[in-house]
Structure 1
Amino acid sequence: MKTAVVLFTRDLRVRDHPALAAACANAERVLPLYVLDPELAGRSPNRDRFLHQCLADLRDALRKRGADLLIRRGDPVAETIRLARDVGAEGVAISGDISRYARRRERRLRAECDRHRIALRIFPGLTIVDPGAVTPAGGDHYKVFTPYHRAWLGAKWRDEVATPRRITLPSGLDAGHLPAPPAGESPDTAAGGEGEARRRLRDWLRRVDRYQENHDALALDATSHLSAYLRFGCLSPLSVANAVDDPDGAFVRQLCWRDFYHQVALAFPDLSTVAYRRGVREDWRYDPETLARWQEGSTGVPLVDAGMRQLRQEGWMHNRARLVVADYLTKHLELDWREGLRWFYRWLIDGDVANNSGNWQWTAGTGNDTRPYRRFNPLRQAERYDPEGEYVNRYAPR
């Protein structure tokens, strides 16, 4: 094959990128492409800013390898086909994804590639074990985490692929302009990009052995902070798991939870809007004023308010705090989990369809929790996980 297009989506890296590696191995010339889709813009200013930083970093990494990141605006399918036809590309490569939007994009891209006699190949890389690769007897996906975890541990993981050293672009192409990162809403969000992600991973590997004992301690903040980089594909989840080198350890188990919700979302595309648990009773109250106080972090419950203020300040929240604030909204205030999901999705730089939706449904008792009626007492949670009040004083001082 002489020329191939690699359409980047949620895989903004050059290391362990199966689609990019295969294109470089099988084509003389490779066109890395990202299409700024107006349909996805504006949903979260924080994620928009993070995305643009990721794209700038990816462009720099590709330029160091002799290529560039081609930037286009519009419909990703139309722009991909237009570029492929302009350069006479014989193939298009893309990483598979699981959201309703991504699967619709993939179907449309396949139809257009078939119409123009262009080969389309879909590659893994979003998760460690492909969604749908392991299934229970008589079902299309695992509904409970523990049996999924057992199957996941027994699955064969793919081999990491080599990073291309040199990428050759056709000559005379307009690379396209990447605007400066837009303004986000949170002042203290993390910076995006594979370079920053690799730096954070190296730092995390020096501390990961203490994850089991410290990950719930709110004041220590002893978690990886890698979630946003996994969400945008700045890191391959497989390479993270391999770097930790403890498949049955506590941190890799969290990566398995990420895979678990991706296979749930693949099988249940309405995860963001419809209760996953059949027949569950949803008697949510409608109370805009109470919802607003929760959103603003002014409920009067210190740990809840601290978590909600961290969300707005950093575009991120400690996982234990996420459980507490979500439980407080749904189990104590009895407000609809969809309101919380939407608020999180607006602010979180790591917000995605699978994990944001899956975790909200788990907490609300409408999802995959085997104990759907469990409740968290926010005062006891604070006593246990923030006994000195350091986390609360950091974000919601009195």
Structure 2
Amino acid sequence: MRTAIVLFTRDLRTHDNPALASACANAETVVPLFVLDPKLQQLSPNRARFLHQSLADLRESLRARGGDLVVREGDPVAETIRLAGEVEADGVALTQDVSAYARRREQQLQEECERHRISLKLFPGTNILSPGDVRPGGGGAYYKVFSPYYRSWESAKWRDEVATPRKITLPPDVNVGNLPAPPAGESPDAVDGGETEGRRRLKTWLGHLGPYDELHDDMPADGTSRLSAYLRFGCLSPLAVANAAREKNGPGSAAFVRQLCWRDFYYQVTYSFPRISTTAYRESGDREWRNDPDALQHWKDGLTGVPVVDAGMRQLMAEGWMHNRARLITAAFLTKHLDLDWREGVKWFFRWLNDGDVANNSGNWQWVAGTGNDTKPYRRFNPIRQGERFDPDGEYVRRYVPELKSVRGKAVHQPWRLPDTVRSGLDYPGPLESHRDEAVWLRP
């Protein structure tokens, strides 16, 4: 092959990128391309910032190997075909993805490539195992329950990692285009994007992996990897992360790799159920949700009067990220306590999360709401007991709810029980008007 285009989407890395590696091995010249789709740029300022930082880092990595990142703006399919004509490309390489948007893009690109007599080749790389790599023994298209999927996933053969190309040769006279400066995100304490930063954080994390099985639910300890945004944008290869974790052995390693399996699980669900962000997976689990705009806004603002819920929501806005246990607590509070529609939660998280991933964000929201893949859809999370168990001294709450910084120990989780003289000086709201019955907090 003389010239190949590598269309980057959510695989913004040079290491273990099968699409890039194959193009470099089989074509004389390679054109790495990213198309800024205006329809996606407005969805989340936090993700737009992370994306642009990741693209800038990717461009530097490609330049260090003799190539560059060609940047265009517009419809990804139209711009890819237009560039293919300019450089007389024989083929296009693309990493597969699972969202409805990605599937439409892939189908449209296939049709246009056929029309222009350009070959399109699809590659793995978004997951450890791609959807369909393992299937239920009974002949189903995909696994609907995690535990049997995990057993098959764990015993399956993984593909080999591919090395970073040593040299990338661009065709002559390619207009690479300008990469706009990263836009300002909304979260002041959000992490920086890019493969370089992701690999640095992975190296640091592997040194702290040992007690992960004991600390991943400990909210003040912050004993999680915080690598989710780098996986979401493909700055890190999930396969490389899993391989590196497996090499460490031990219960912490096993627990962490299991979480990566959850990621693959929701991808294979989303591949077969692309409406996961808008339609209940289990229709019987959906219901008539309450319409309470005031309660919804208090939840969004972190002003529900329930400290551990408010702490999680404020962490989301400050960092563009939320501790996993806090995600469960805040989502359960919205859906199981306030009885508000899970789709409102999906949209709010998508606005703020750096790691706002269709499959995982929506899949987990449906799991908590009782409309998804949970085998116990009626389970509830008592926010007070959750706070007392996973933030026993109130450190996490005080970190994000400074109004309660003077309250010590477990009392921080139930400030309405403090003496009136203490409570009146806290400048912190009581539980929502529609939800003040303390019996609610005591239900399992």
- TM-score range, shorter-chain basis? over 0.9
Aligned residues: 398
Gaps of 5+ in 2: 405-444
Post-superposition shift, 1:279? 2.3
Structure 2 residue matching 1:249: 3-state secondary structure? helix
User: Is residue 2:49 matched to residue 1:49?
Assistant: yes
Residue in structure 2 matched with residue 145 of structure 1 by the alignment: 146
User: Aligned AA for 2:116?
Assistant: H
Structure 2 residue matching 1:49: 3-state secondary structure? helix
Separation of aligned partners in 2, 1:199 and 1:126: 20
CA offset digits 1:259-293 (Å, max 9, x no partner): 00000000101100111013224121000000000
CA offset digits 1:220-242 (Å, max 9, x no partner): 10000000000000000000000
Separation of aligned partners in 2, 1:229 and 1:111: 31
Post-superposition shift, 1:11? 0.3
User: Aligned AA for 1:4?
Assistant: A
Residue in structure 1 matched with residue 413 of structure 2 by the alignment: none
The TM-score, its normalising length taken from structure 1, stands at: 0.99
Contact kept, 8 Å, 2:366 with 2:373, in 1: the verdict is yes
Q: Which moved more, 1:275-284 or 1:309-318?
A: 275-284
CA offset digits 1:108-134 (Å, max 9, x no partner): 101111111111000000000011211
Q: What is the root-mean-square deviation in Å for CA atoms of aligned residues? A: 0.9
Structure 2 residue matching 1:329: 3-state secondary structure? helix
Residue in structure 1 matched with residue 170 of structure 2 by the alignment: 169
Post-superposition shift, 1:173? 1.1
Structure 2 residue matching 1:392: 3-state secondary structure? helix
Residue in structure 2 matched with residue 349 of structure 1 by the alignment: 354
User: Is residue 2:96 matched to residue 1:91?
Assistant: no
Residue in structure 2 matched with residue 215 of structure 1 by the alignment: 216
Separation of aligned partners in 2, 1:330 and 1:32: 43
Post-superposition shift, 1:155? 1.3
Separation of aligned partners in 2, 1:57 and 1:280: 43
Contact kept, 8 Å, 2:212 with 2:256, in 1: the verdict is yes
Residue in structure 2 matched with residue 60 of structure 1 by the alignment: 60
Residue in structure 1 matched with residue 279 of structure 2 by the alignment: 274
Separation of aligned partners in 2, 1:103 and 1:220: 39
Separation of aligned partners in 2, 1:120 and 1:144: 33
Structure 2 residue matching 1:191: 3-state secondary structure? coil
User: Aligned AA for 2:393?
Assistant: E
Residue in structure 2 matched with residue 101 of structure 1 by the alignment: 101
Separation of aligned partners in 2, 1:49 and 1:25: 32
Separation of aligned partners in 2, 1:226 and 1:277: 30
Residue in structure 2 matched with residue 126 of structure 1 by the alignment: 126
CA offset digits 1:200-235 (Å, max 9, x no partner): 000000011110011100001000000000000000
Residue in structure 2 matched with residue 206 of structure 1 by the alignment: 207
CA offset digits 1:160-186 (Å, max 9, x no partner): 011101100011111101010001111
Separation of aligned partners in 1, 2:147 and 2:384: 29
Structure 2 residue matching 1:30: 3-state secondary structure? strand
Judged with a 3 Å threshold, the aligned counterparts in structure 2 of structure 1 residues 281 and 178 are, in CA distance, closer, same or farther, namely closer
Separation of aligned partners in 2, 1:251 and 1:32: 32
Q: Which has the higher contact order (CA 8 A, sep 6+)?
A: 1
User: Is residue 2:326 matched to residue 1:316?
Assistant: no
Separation of aligned partners in 2, 1:142 and 1:372: 17
Q: How does 1:1-398 map to 2 (within 5 A)?
A: 1-136=1-136, 137-245=138-246, 246=249, 249-397=254-402, 398=404
Post-superposition shift, 1:85? 1.1
Structure 1 residue matching 2:133: 3-state secondary structure? coil
CA offset digits 1:337-396 (Å, max 9, x no partner): 000010000000000110000000000000001111111111111111101110000001
User: Aligned AA for 1:364?
Assistant: A
Contact kept, 8 Å, 2:24 with 2:165, in 1: the verdict is yes
Judged with a 3 Å threshold, the aligned counterparts in structure 2 of structure 1 residues 281 and 24 are, in CA distance, closer, same or farther, namely closer
User: Aligned AA for 2:110?
Assistant: R
Structure 2 residue matching 1:300: 3-state secondary structure? coil
Contact kept, 8 Å, 2:19 with 2:95, in 1: the verdict is yes
User: Aligned AA for 2:11?
Assistant: D
The TM-score, its normalising length taken from structure 2, stands at: 0.89
Contact kept, 8 Å, 2:280 with 2:286, in 1: the verdict is no
Separation of aligned partners in 1, 2:316 and 2:202: 22
User: Aligned AA for 1:216?
Assistant: D
Structure 2 residue matching 1:320: 3-state secondary structure? helix
Structure 2 residue matching 1:39: 3-state secondary structure? helix
Separation of aligned partners in 1, 2:140 and 2:278: 22
User: Aligned AA for 1:354?
Assistant: A
Post-superposition shift, 1:297? 0.2
CA offset digits 1:62-108 (Å, max 9, x no partner): 00000000000001111111111111110100000001110110011
Residue in structure 1 matched with residue 421 of structure 2 by the alignment: none
Contact kept, 8 Å, 2:284 with 2:371, in 1: the verdict is no
User: Aligned AA for 2:19?
Assistant: A
Residue in structure 1 matched with residue 442 of structure 2 by the alignment: none
Largest Rg, 1 or 2 = 2
User: Aligned AA for 2:215?
Assistant: N
Misfit runs of 4+, over 2 Å: 278-281
Structure 1 residue matching 2:284: 3-state secondary structure? coil
Contact kept, 8 Å, 2:87 with 2:174, in 1: the verdict is no
Separation of aligned partners in 1, 2:344 and 2:83: 40
